[in-house]
Structure 1
Amino acid sequence: MFFSIIIPLYNRPQEIKELLETLTLQTYTQFEVLVIEDGSVDDAEAIVNTFAGKLDIRYFKKSNEGQGFTRNFGFERAKGDYFIVFDSDCLIPANYLEIVNNSLAVNYLDAYGGPDGAHASFTPTQKAISYSMTSPFTTGGIRGNKKSIGVFHPRSFNMGISRQVWEKAGGFIITRLGEDIEYSIRIHSLGFKIGLIPDAIVYHKRRTNFWQFYKQLHFFGRARINIYKFFPNELKPVHFFPAIFTIGVILTIVFNIFGWQIAWLGNSVIAAVILLIFFHAWWKNQSVKIAFLSIIAAFTQLIAYGLGFMQDFWKRVIFNRS
């Protein structure tokens, strides 16, 4: 099988350098790379050109449209039997393509997703954020999980589709705000087989500080409502959990300020969540520092997602504004 790796890029030249370096180490070599600069001011053309003799690579520049339509630009120009999408802030293990190729040979999937993890080179904050996004104690536990809730929906930081999917389903119809989930649902609705390849892991840097992480997860919360506008049946009870948790934290703070006795209930729940996250993160990362940072990451994730979810639920569902 010949793979086309498609990487949208926006003002991240150093990230693409690190990603391309990992692709030069792939044990399976039947692939091309398409890097599409999406209207960047700080472009990576000079960096990408240094890989011309190491990879079968093509570089494109286009006006800014967002990651979804930029991936479509790559799909239209790809030569492969199978298209793989990575975010520019990922590092790819050397055996990634070998794992995918072998898995598809045994159990063919029309579209697949893979999990993400923390690389040894990540900072403690990045490792804490990675823990939060994959922990069973946050909504991140359903991302890249072998036992996902309902139909598995690949995420675009680590996602593959066959040429047949592209030809029948087309590409992304929204460019951001949940574009990968919408695409996954639409692929499944057309009868294609979608699944997780558990060993096709990538190391996803995500954000480097908690403020950036907050903004990203607030956007994810809003994106869930955007998906609801396309597919109302896809809004599940689990998606309300961060909003409920956020309301609970706010009420607990208010109860404590006014000295109301009911505050003990919220305090107990929050304390239990903190302890669960701390000891689980400590066990997973073997680091007390990362365990403490994981508490901050998890609360940032849940509250940011919850506030974004409630903001657009109120605006777009209750008041039906666009």
Structure 2
Amino acid sequence: MRFSIIIPTLNRTTDLYNMLESLKNQTFTDFEVIIVDQNKTDILDSLIKPFESILDIKHVKTIAKGASNARNIGLSKSKGEIYTFPDDDCEYPNNFLEYINTYFIENVIDGIVVNTRDKNDGKPIANLSTSDVEIKRKNILKTVIEAGIFIKSSIAKGIVFDENLGVGATSGYCSDEGPDYVLRLLEKGAKLKFYPSFYMYHPNPIKIYNEKTSKRAYNYGKGRGYFLKKNNFGFFNIIYFLGLYLAGMLKSILFFDKNMFMYFFADLKEDMRDILNQNKKLLGLNFLLFVVGLSIPFSYAFNSICLGVLFLYSFNWFQKKL
């Protein structure tokens, strides 16, 4: 078996049907599909049944919560030479797996990560690198999205997803399980590359900024903070990601978009709150750099970032006192 396609699913029928249709239409057919069903009822039984005579499907039911938990269950059932983990609302172009298989044959590589694009407008759904690049620790958050991971089982054995991370995790840390998984593959010596020219389809979840997307940003920000803290990313990496959120807030001000502002603010607030709760030294270093920055001409942007950290720490402190 060449590919094991592990799909966690919850509360989706139409999207999963479309994904299975796209798999049915693949020009390369040496793969198994492992559907990890987290629904409380049997809503998928009749949906999956027509595909069982066409595709090699394992329908695994579980009451375990969280996408990462479901992926780990799928890994334990997998027999393929290459693992991949699309979401239940992804779709593959018809020749997608054929291209991926050819790439693995022609190149000495342990794994690749491909891009995800919205099917309606063709644009990437995440702000990742636009060029082919080797994945390293320093660029992992610009090159990895979990749905796009393809990794050889020979190097991935024994490595599982952190069940504290990902959509549906009981911890509330609803993001960055993919980068965390790949980071541990890199630590094991795996060689992976990001190829944005290879892509699958995935709906863009934040085309519209509203209360729902702000709540999503809040939970994803918690995941980002946990990921950075868990994996010991340094002060300047944290400041860099803080700067990205502040840039989004600035853009929202320029466009007079309150909902966009609240989206980036929710992400920023939860990200930094989670980091600062257990990193008092970071606060002290941040304040020192802010003071130094006052003496440096044209350092307004840098000082704004530092002030942002100080503000968020103060905000968190006052919340605890109330």
Instruction: Report the TM-score, using the length of structure 2 for normalisation.
Output: 0.72
| Structure 1 residues 44 and 206: CA distance shift in structure 2, 3 A | farther
CA distance in 1, matches of 2:151, 2:234: 21
Partner amino acid for 1:196? F
Partner amino acid for 2:53? G
Quote the residue 2:243 is aligned against.
241
Quote the residue 1:163 is aligned against.
153
CA distance in 2, matches of 1:105, 1:45: 36
RMSD: 3.2
Could you tell which deviates more after superposition, 295-304 or 71-80? 295-304
The alpha carbon displacement at 1:186 in A equals 0.8
| Structure 1 residues 219 and 25: CA distance shift in structure 2, 3 A | same
Could you tell which deviates more after superposition, 179-188 or 36-45? 36-45
Residue from 187, 190, 209 that aligns with 1:192: 190
Partner amino acid for 2:86? F
The alpha carbon displacement at 1:315 in A equals 3.1
Equivalent runs, 1:225-304 vs 2, <5 Å: 225-233=225-233, 236=237, 237-245=239-247, 270-271=253-254, 274=255, 299=261, 302-304=264-266
Report the secondary structure of 1:6's partner residue: strand
Please state if 1:22 is matched with 2:22: yes
| Structure 1 residues 51 and 212: CA distance shift in structure 2, 3 A | farther
Residues 188-220 of structure 1: CA distance to partner in whole angstroms, max 9, x if unpaired? 011110111333201111437544333223222
Partner amino acid for 1:166? A
The alpha carbon displacement at 1:159 in A equals 1.2
The alpha carbon displacement at 1:75 in A equals 0.9
Please state if 1:146 is matched with 2:148: no
Residues 123-153 of structure 1: CA distance to partner in whole angstroms, max 9, x if unpaired? xxxx7xx66x44xxxxx244x7535883445
Please state if 1:63 is matched with 2:63: yes
Higher relative contact order, structure no. (Cα contacts within 8 Å, ≥ 6 residues apart): 1
Quote the residue 1:51 is aligned against.
51
CA distance in 2, matches of 1:42, 1:180: 29
Query: Between Structure 1 and Structure 2, how many residues are aligned?
Result: 266
Quote the residue 1:102 is aligned against.
102
CA distance in 1, matches of 2:220, 2:182: 16
Residue from 133, 157, 163 that aligns with 1:174: 163
| Structure 1 residues 42 and 54: CA distance shift in structure 2, 3 A | same
CA distance in 2, matches of 1:220, 1:115: 19
Partner amino acid for 2:269? L
Gaps of at least 5 residues in structure 2 are 166-172, 281-312, 318-322
Residues 145-188 of structure 1: CA distance to partner in whole angstroms, max 9, x if unpaired? 53588344532122112111232x42113342322221111110
CA distance in 1, matches of 2:100, 2:164: 26
| Structure 1 residues 165 and 298: CA distance shift in structure 2, 3 A | farther
Residues 18-66 of structure 1: CA distance to partner in whole angstroms, max 9, x if unpaired? 1111111111111111100124447322211121122111111011231
Quote the residue 1:305 is aligned against.
267
Instruction: Report the TM-score, using the length of structure 1 for normalisation.
Output: 0.72
Partner amino acid for 1:205? P
The alpha carbon displacement at 1:310 in A equals 2.8
Partner amino acid for 1:170? I
| Structure 1 residues 48 and 108: CA distance shift in structure 2, 3 A | farther
Gaps of at least 5 residues in structure 1 are 135-139, 250-266, 276-294
| Structure 1 residues 18 and 221: CA distance shift in structure 2, 3 A | same
Report the secondary structure of 1:112's partner residue: strand
| Structure 1 residues 173 and 313: CA distance shift in structure 2, 3 A | closer
Instruction: Indicate conservation of the 8 Å contact 2:8/2:70, yes or no.
Output: yes
| Structure 1 residues 300 and 23: CA distance shift in structure 2, 3 A | farther
CA distance in 2, matches of 1:199, 1:34: 26
Residues 265-307 of structure 1: CA distance to partner in whole angstroms, max 9, x if unpaired? xx9x943xx49xxxxxxxxxxxxxxxxxxx7886565334223
Residues 246-268 of structure 1: CA distance to partner in whole angstroms, max 9, x if unpaired? 7x65xxxxxxxxxxxxxxxxx9x
CA distance in 2, matches of 1:42, 1:314: 43
Could you tell which deviates more after superposition, 148-157 or 200-209? 148-157
CA distance in 1, matches of 2:62, 2:159: 20
Quote the residue 2:218 is aligned against.
218
CA distance in 2, matches of 1:9, 1:66: 10
Could you tell which deviates more after superposition, 148-157 or 197-206? 148-157
| Structure 1 residues 297 and 57: CA distance shift in structure 2, 3 A | farther
Instruction: Indicate conservation of the 8 Å contact 1:112/1:154, yes or no.
Output: no
CA distance in 2, matches of 1:307, 1:53: 49
The alpha carbon displacement at 1:79 in A equals 1.3
Quote the residue 1:207 is aligned against.
205
Partner amino acid for 1:161? I
Q: Identity over aligned residues, as a percent? A: 23
